[in-house]
Amino acid sequence: MNGIKIVIMMMALMALFIYVGYLVGGQNGMVIAFIIASIMNFISYWYSDKIVLKMYRAREVDEHEHSRLFRIVKSVTTQALIPMPKVYIVPTKAPNAFATGRNLEHAAVATTEGLLELLNDRELEGVIGHEIAHIQNKDMLIGTIAATFAGAIGILASIARWGAIFGGYSKDNNRGGGIGLLIAAIVAPLAAMIIQMAISRQREFKADEIGAGITNRHHDLASALQKLNKAPIRLNLDNRPATAHLMIVNPLSGKNFTSIFSTHPPVEKRIERLKKLAEESLYKGYANI
């Protein structure tokens, strides 16, 4: 069901992009904006793992340096039937975790020192399952495609604003005139951001479901989310809010950050869904006996 929702939202982003491109510059303006956004996001997608890991001063570890984390990551990836990702630790007491990388063969899982101190082995396995699910689902690719369309819409909106400032948008324009300009410059970028954030939230729900299914740690992942949500220390993302969507819990604010602009669903809803999935899994187990 989440997959269908994501497809629908991606189609909505594409339709919005085509509409705004037509309003602003017709077919040529649309193509130019899409090319610019694609180049920017292709570079980000290709080098995202190196950029993010360096940004957080993450240190790669092996089974000798941190046997506990390495063992759990290896166990979960074996269950998920994917290649072993690189394993990193971020030097901060703020508990969180993320996965990055452009594909299964170039993936990395990172946890903070604070997360390793806060969670027990079962909870840590639940968190790693969530991150491995992101890798398995190719969420970096989905996020990049969504960002490309949202970025292209932003570029078109900027063109529309500058056109209005310098009088380059004629009142006789058969693509909507002043109303079209208003939609292109203000409404469309806002709508694109809302859709992009909605896609991010659905990906988090899906990673919870698939990750817990891989590890069979529904309750443990729920417990981990509860602990992370109540943690008094959070990652300082003042200078890098664009990476917030990578984290397992939203590091930008507390539980009140539940608006349509949030990159993550409310933790309470995630926990509720995990408990329901645990009951369904248990019921299926009894049914198969």
Provide the annotated active-site residues: 131
CA–chain centroid gap for 27, Å, is 30
Cβ–Cβ under 8 Å, residues 164 and 181: yes
Q: Which long-range contacts (CB under 8 A, 24 or more apart) does 242-245 make?
A: 243/52, 243/55, 243/98, 245/143, 245/200
Count CB-CB contacts under 10 A for residue 44: 18
Rounded distance between C-alpha atoms, residue 242 and residue 48, angstroms: 12
Question: How far out from the chain centre does Cα 95 lie?
Answer: 18
Angle between helices 188-215 and 2-55 (to 10 degrees): 90
Sequential DSSP letters for 213-247: HHHT-HHHHHHHHHHHHH-S-----TT-GGGGGGB
Cβ count near 86 (within 10 Å): 18
Cα atoms in the Cβ-side hemisphere of radius 13 Å centred on 153: 28
CB-count burial class (<10 Å; 0-12, 13-18, 19+) for 43: exposed
CA dihedral 37, 42, 47, 52 (to 10 degrees): 40
